[in-house]
């Protein structure tokens, strides 16, 4: 049974009362100091430690434990090792009023549950136990200690909540500031890029804006790796067309930037069609939110701009193809002239005609690639078209034809591009002749067994002179006079005497060089040359004979280049 409330004592004498009052005052002073310590602590565990330490100084007992309605039993240095029978104690709390009361504590004679009160209400109980019941003044001090502990715990809880709310408010303000800053940057980004689009600055303007907003050098390339625009002095693209195509496919399928060694690439696409790439040079990590916004909006504007340009280019190419076809077949009328001038072609200037072909069959899309690549290098004032299985360029000035061909081969090394350039046409009516000359120059690659490069009609030497002779029959008679017997022999026996002779003469009479050129042993060359002497009856050591034979072999090559070869046999010529 829990002990009852202490009985009312009989009237004490004045001396003991004074002594008790003095002890009470001393205890109250100590409790005031403890209250100040507990309220200044701000830590729940420290408050309970101070309260637990104070109990033995007030009574001959101890703090058995602290129970909070929201949190249960709390650890205390003085009470942790005596926390036994907590379930029984909690059952007793259920029948106590808010004022607390006596409770039974296992192993102790006296026990009391003091309420932990504050302005917020009762938070729990301050449980004290002893082997004998303390006098009333000590119990009063315990009640005051419990009350101060409750107040200190309430204040600490309030301060903790306030600190938490302050932290939450600070974090919310920081998040709001970050959101506002991000919104401002996003607004600035969209405003800057939209202004570029509205002002019609094109691909170059968009590249400059992305460079300005991100701080990184920027390149914009088409799917073949041709740089359409750049900003911030970026280095040349290190990716070939095959590698770039793989990166673009990956970027489009993943829908996010692709990272590499010192660059970040975004695919520019319209629907399922990849139009090119936007690359930040020198970027070595993951794009932040601002950079992502810039790249996404920049790629969107580039897609719109490139789609528009592609539509314009396709229309110009279609019109240009029709104009080129008419100019090359001499079907020039007022309508043709008007369309050519609308495309920026100066119909009153002198022009050259260049024909681009491949050593192998054109792959799908190669003609379009050549036209776009050459268009970016040559610029306005020229016409391009796919014509008769090749790409034809009509330009009003001379170009660095070797550099032009090298550029095509650099970006597409597997094709083996050939470039034949005709002579100068003083007016548009001479374009068919210039086109014929460019085709003739192009055929020289097959005669010389070359896979790629440039041949200019003006530099063809004797081949040019022979090609310009109007009387073809005179060339044929000359060829048959000097090579007729050898041609007939090769025709009947499937031989290569004429070819061997041409190589031998063109290579300065070197047996070794000739054997390499015609792919036979040196002794075979010697044998063939002897057969040539026997069949033709010519002395190959005679300079005049050597000159005429060499000219005849080149004339024969020219006849093959212009088409048809020899039109009549030696027997027919004799008749």
Rounded Cα distance between 257 and 540, Å, is: 70
Q: What is the pLDDT of residue 13?
A: 42
Do residues 214 and 296 share a domain?
A: yes
List of residues 6+ apart from 420 with CB closer than 8 A: 354, 355, 357, 438, 439, 440, 441, 442, 443, 444, 445, 454, 455, 457
Q: Does 456 map to a domain? A: no
Q: What is the pLDDT of residue 155?
A: 84
The per-residue pLDDT for range 51-74, each reduced to its tens digit, is 888 888 888 888 888 888 888 888
Query: Above 50 in pLDDT, residue 189?
Result: yes
Q: Which region among 144-153, 232-241, 302-311 has the lowest average model confidence (pLDDT)?
A: 232-241
Q: Does 48 map to a domain? A: yes
Q: What is the pLDDT of residue 7?
A: 43
Question: Beta-carbon neighbour count of residue 26 at 10 Å?
Answer: 11
Q: What is the pLDDT of residue 128?
A: 92
Chain-centre distance of CA 70, in angstroms?
56
Picking from 392, 414, 435, the residue at the C-terminal end of a domain is 435
Q: What is the CATH number of the domain that holds 38?
A: 3.30.450.40
Do residues 133 and 35 share a domain?
A: yes
* DSSP summary character for residue 285: S
Do residues 22 and 143 share a domain?
A: yes
Q: What is the pLDDT of residue 212?
A: 84
Q: Does 541 map to a domain? A: yes
Beta-strand pair 110-118/273-281: unpaired
Q: What is the pLDDT of residue 132?
A: 92
Q: Does 292 map to a domain? A: yes
Q: What is the rounded average pLDDT of the residues 416-441?
A: 81
Query: With left for phi above 0 and alpha for psi between -120 and 50, is residue 542 left, alpha or beta?
Result: beta
Rounded Cα distance between 243 and 216, Å, is: 22
Host domain of residue 372: 329-435
Q: What is the rounded average pLDDT of the residues 512-518?
A: 86
Residues in the chain: 575
Do residues 150 and 18 share a domain?
A: yes
Do residues 493 and 531 share a domain?
A: yes
Rounded Cα distance between 188 and 385, Å, is: 43
Question: Beta-carbon neighbour count of residue 5 at 10 Å?
Answer: 11
Query: Above 50 in pLDDT, residue 89?
Result: yes
Q: Does 175 map to a domain? A: no
Please choose, from the candidates 76, 25, 30, 51, the residue with its C-alpha nearest in 3D space to the C-alpha of residue 152: 51
Q: Does 122 map to a domain? A: yes
Do residues 55 and 151 share a domain?
A: yes
Do residues 298 and 350 share a domain?
A: no
Strand, helix or coil at 33? helix
Do residues 96 and 136 share a domain?
A: yes
Do residues 21 and 152 share a domain?
A: yes
Query: Above 70 in pLDDT, residue 273?
Result: yes
Q: What is the rounded average pLDDT of the residues 168-196?
A: 81
Model-level pTM? 0.43
> What does the radius of gyration of the chain's CA atoms come to, in whole angstroms?
51
Picking from 139, 162, 185, the residue at the C-terminal end of a domain is 162
Q: What is the rounded average pLDDT of the residues 179-195?
A: 78
Q: Look over the chain and give the mean of its residue pLDDT values, rounded to a whole number.
A: 76
Q: Does 453 map to a domain? A: no
Q: Does 64 map to a domain? A: yes
Q: Please give the helix or strand (H or E) that residue 145 lies within, else none.
A: helix 136-198
Strand, helix or coil at 68? strand
Q: What is the pLDDT of residue 2?
A: 43
Rounded Cα distance between 266 and 214, Å, is: 14
Query: What are the tokens at 399?
Result: 């170009």
The per-residue pLDDT for range 319-330, each reduced to its tens digit, is 667 777 777 776
Do residues 301 and 333 share a domain?
A: no
List of residues 6+ apart from 224 with CB closer than 8 A: 241, 244, 369, 372, 373, 411, 412
**Which of 242-251, 498-507, 524-533 holds the top average pLDDT?**
524-533
Question: Beta-carbon neighbour count of residue 541 at 10 Å?
Answer: 9
What whole-number percentage of the chain has pLDDT above 70? 75
Picking from 305, 338, 370, the residue at the C-terminal end of a domain is 305
Rounded Cα distance between 463 and 477, Å, is: 17
Do residues 72 and 134 share a domain?
A: yes
Do residues 515 and 383 share a domain?
A: no
**Which of 25-29, 214-218, 473-477, 553-557 holds the top average pLDDT?**
214-218
Confidence of residue 555 (pLDDT cuts 50, 70, 90): confident
Q: What is the CATH number of the domain that holds 550?
A: 1.10.10
Chain-centre distance of CA 217, in angstroms?
13
Query: Above 50 in pLDDT, residue 12?
Result: no
Query: Above 90 in pLDDT, residue 544?
Result: no
Q: Please give the helix or strand (H or E) that residue 501 lies within, else none.
A: helix 497-506
Confidence of residue 356 (pLDDT cuts 50, 70, 90): confident
Provide the domain count of the chain: 4
Strand, helix or coil at 379? coil
């Amino acid at each position: 049974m829990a002990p009852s409330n202490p009985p009312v004592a009989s009237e004490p004498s004045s001396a003991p009362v004074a002594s008790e009052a003095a002890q009470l005052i001393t205890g109250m002073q100590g409790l005031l100091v403890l209250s100040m310590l507990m309220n200044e602590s701000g830590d729940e565990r420290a408050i309970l430690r101070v309260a637990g330490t104070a109990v033995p100084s007030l009574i001959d007992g101890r703090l058995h434990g602290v129970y909070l309605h929201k949190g249960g039993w709390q650890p205390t240095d003085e009470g942790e090792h005596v926390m036994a029978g907590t379930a029984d104690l909690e059952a007793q709390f259920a029948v106590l009023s808010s004022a607390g009361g006596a409770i039974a504590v296992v192993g102790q004679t006296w026990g009391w549950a003091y309420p932990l009160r504050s302005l917020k209400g009762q938070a729990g109980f301050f449980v004290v136990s002893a082997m004998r019941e303390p006098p009333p003044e000590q119990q009063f001090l315990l009640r005051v200690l419990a009350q101060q502990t409750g107040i200190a715990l309430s204040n600490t809880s309030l301060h903790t909540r306030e600190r938490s709310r302050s932290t939450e408010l600070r974090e919310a303000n920081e998040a709001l500031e970050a959101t506002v800053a991000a919104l401002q940057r996003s607004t600035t980004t969209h405003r800057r890029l939209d202004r570029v689009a509205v002002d019609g600055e094109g691909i170059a303007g968009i590249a400059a804006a992305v460079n300005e907003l991100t701080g990184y050098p920027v390149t914009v390339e088409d799917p073949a790796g041709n740089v359409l625009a750049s900003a911030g002095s970026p280095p040349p693209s290190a990716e070939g067309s095959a590698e770039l195509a793989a990166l673009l496919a990956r970027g489009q399928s993943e829908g996010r930037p692709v990272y590499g060694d010192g660059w970040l690439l975004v695919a520019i696409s319209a629907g399922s069609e990849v139009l090119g790439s936007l690359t930040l040079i020198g970027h070595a990590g993951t794009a932040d939110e601002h950079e992502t916004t810039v790249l996404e909006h920049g790629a969107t504007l580039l897609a719109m701009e490139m789609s528009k340009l592609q539509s314009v280019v396709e229309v110009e190419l279609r019109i240009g193809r029709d104009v080129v076809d008419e100019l090359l077949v001499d079907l020039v009328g007022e309508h043709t002239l008007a369309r050519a001038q609308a495309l920026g072609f100066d119909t009153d200037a002198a022009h050259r005609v260049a024909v681009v072909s491949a050593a192998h069959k054109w792959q799908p899309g190669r003609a379009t690639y050549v036209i776009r690549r050459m268009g970016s290098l040559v610029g306005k004032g020229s016409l391009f078209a796919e014509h008769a299985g090749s790409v034809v360029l009509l330009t009003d000035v001379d170009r660095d034809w070797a550099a032009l061909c090298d550029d095509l081969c650099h970006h597409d090394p597997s094709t083996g591009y050939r470039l034949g350039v005709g002579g100068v046409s003083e007016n548009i009516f001479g374009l068919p002749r210039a086109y014929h000359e460019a085709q003739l120059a192009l055929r020289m690659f097959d005669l010389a067994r070359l896979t790629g490069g440039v041949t200019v009609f003006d530099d063809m030497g004797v081949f040019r002179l022979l090609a310009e002779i109007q009387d073809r029959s005179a060339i044929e008679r000359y060829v048959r006079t000097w090579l007729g017997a050898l041609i007939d022999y090769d025709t009947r026996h499937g031989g290569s005497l004429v070819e061997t002779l041409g190589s031998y003469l063109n290579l300065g009479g070197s047996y070794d060089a000739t054997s390499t050129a015609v792919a036979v042993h040196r002794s075979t060359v010697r044998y063939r040359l002897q057969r040539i002497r026997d069949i033709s009856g010519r002395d190959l050591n005679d300079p005049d004979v050597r000159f005429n034979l060499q000219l005849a072999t080149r004339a024969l090559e020219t006849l093959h280049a212009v088409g048809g070869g020899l039109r009549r046999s030696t027997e027919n010529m004799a008749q």
